[in-house]
Structure 1
Amino acid sequence: MKKIGFIGLGIMGRPMALNLYHAGEDILVNDVDDGVLESIKQQGLPVGTVSEIGRECDLVFMILPNGDIVKEVIFGEGGLTFSPKKPRIICDMSSVTPDQSRDCHKRLEKMGVAFVDAPVSGGEPKAVDGTLSFMAGGDEQNCQTLKPYFEIMGSSSVRIGGPGSGSIAKLANQIIVNLSIAAVSEAFVFVKKAGADPEKVYQAIRGGLAGSEVLDAKLPMILKRDFTPGGKIAVNHKDIKNVLETAKDQKIPLPFTAQLFQVMQALDVSGNMEDDHSGIIQYFERLAGVEVSCEGE
């Protein structure tokens, strides 16, 4: 059995690591938060330093806040590649730019270490129940090696292509998800302000063409005023910034995404960045002077 490393035990990473552990994998985990590590130890998972994971683990999975942290964990002092003995494959499941993924691939290739960028979609609920979607970029053989682990943590995995292509797919996913939440938000602020019951409108339209997984996942949270994060606005704000930076480099016009970034900037000013991204609706509510919730609340 291969020893598996897992670095990053946040909202997404913790349940993903637990699913690997409960599937019987020989796993060693790490996070920067000592409180998280103490809690995870109590659930039975063995904890090691990043350098220990680099020395002892054949395959290493990471899901971290941004590309700079990813590079520090891989290449920094005490990082995964700091010791002479290094992992065979490093799989980064973070949401970063394609250029950052390609840079990691090139630098690791010189060390004889394979790299796969395999970000995920599905949020905390699907991380918990093991039904995430993986979009992988890297060598075909390395993606096949990782596939059994993707199948433990998720319900689907697709190799998109070479290095960086998984990150491209993730950014496209983030455009669609966040613009969909914005569209749902604008629509239901319209419903509320115009005088209809948002819950009944939801039930009326969810089975038609306007129905979507985003609508079903996010509108019930909005109606309950529950913005407990499964995917923070802060994280999605970072992703949309990565989209726009990549689009600028490639000379790709993205007018709606650019406007969404400004909506998120306003939510930053109003102190909503730690909310779930269903909380995007608060921007539109403030413009219209209404609050979308279940009737009677």
Structure 2
Amino acid sequence: MIGFIGLGVMGRPMAAHLIEAGQTLHLHRVKPISQHLVDQGGIACSSAREVAEKSDIVILMLPDTPDVEAVLFGQDGLEEGLSAGKLVIDMSSISPVATKQFAERLRRKDIGYVDAPVSGGEVGAKNAALTIMVGGSEADFSRARPLFEAMGKNITHVGAVGDGQTAKVANQIIVGLTIEAVSEALLFAKVAGADPARVREALMGGFASSRILELHGQRMIDRTFDPGFRIRLHRKDLTLATDAAKALELALPNTAMTQQLMNAALAIGLGDKDHSALIEALEHLSGAAR
């Protein structure tokens, strides 16, 4: 029996793929938008504790570190229903430091813990094509792998607990900084009088080519900013990076700058747009929204 908590934009299709793969899912926080999962065979539960009691493995897909902590250790939380031999798989993107603390707290009760954040956005979740970065013991990874295979394609066991979250933070640094670079390049082309679409086409044939230039560059040109991944959530991930850099006494100057640009995006109301809308924040700052 599998538990699943976190039926948001990403969680809903991930849970659906598990049901399609033949898993019996116990679900918490079922809302009208996720009622179809119950119609497909999922079982609604009244609390995280009930999910834990009825499941051998519980998957979490939640927005942030405090959300995971509350579901794990809050009133009627998972910890109250978990017993020795069960496994928690956290597929949220949260603090690597907190992840290790959560895992250690559960390990004392002989409960396994795997951190397995994902990359690929809503499209990857819907297509069961997520990249999954896993931290945990070999035994726990082997136990979780069949579930991962129902939700993703590129599955990598990075290392010990917390290493999956570290890999995800590294991923978000690269994606965030590349989106910022593409935004600057296309804004420069526009204000200089060139056709950004033609400039993007030219760049796609050279060393500057990337998936972000291909996909998000097209979004910037088309002005299609419906969220695949919200600026608000990406800002959260870069905050994890800058907080970790502070603790490690590590210089990540461009990560910090991009995080501040995302802060500005939130301040002008762009937080719930796709992270490719970062170009609008640059336009606002440069007076080039024209």
Per the normalisation by structure 1, the TM-score is 0.93
- Report the counterpart of residue 35 of structure 1 in structure 2: 32
User: What letter matches 1:199 in structure 2?
Assistant: A
Query: Matches of 1:104 and 1:207 in 2, distance apart?
Result: 46
* Structure-2 change in CA distance of 1:13 and 1:111 (3 Å): same
Shift of 1:270: 0.3
RMSD: 1.6
Structure 1 residue matching 2:254: 3-state secondary structure: helix
> Is 2:150 aligned against 1:145?
no
* Structure-2 change in CA distance of 1:196 and 1:145 (3 Å): same
Question: 1:239-293: per-residue Cα shift (whole Å, max 9, x none)?
Answer: 111111111001110000111111111111101111110111111112333359x
Residue of structure 2 aligned with 1:59, choices 57, 65, 75: 57
* Structure-2 change in CA distance of 1:291 and 1:86 (3 Å): farther
User: What letter matches 1:161 in structure 2?
Assistant: G
Structure 2 residue matching 1:81: 3-state secondary structure: helix
Residue of structure 2 aligned with 1:73, choices 56, 71, 83: 71
Query: Matches of 1:197 and 1:282 in 2, distance apart?
Result: 17
Contact 1:130 1:154 in 2 (8 A): yes
Structure 1 residue matching 2:132: 3-state secondary structure: strand
Shift of 1:87: 6.6
Contact 2:175 2:212 in 1 (8 A): yes
Shift of 1:105: 0.8
Q: In structure 2, list runs of 5 or more residues that go unmatched.
A: none
- Report the counterpart of residue 256 of structure 2 in structure 1: 258
Question: 1:199-223: per-residue Cα shift (whole Å, max 9, x none)?
Answer: 1222222132211111222122222
Q: How many residues align?
A: 289
* Structure-2 change in CA distance of 1:26 and 1:195 (3 Å): same
Identity among equivalent positions (%) equals 39
User: What letter matches 2:94 in structure 1?
Assistant: V
Contact 1:192 1:290 in 2 (8 A): no
* Structure-2 change in CA distance of 1:54 and 1:87 (3 Å): farther
- Report the counterpart of residue 47 of structure 1 in structure 2: 44
- Report the counterpart of residue 112 of structure 2 in structure 1: 114
Per the normalisation by structure 2, the TM-score is 0.95
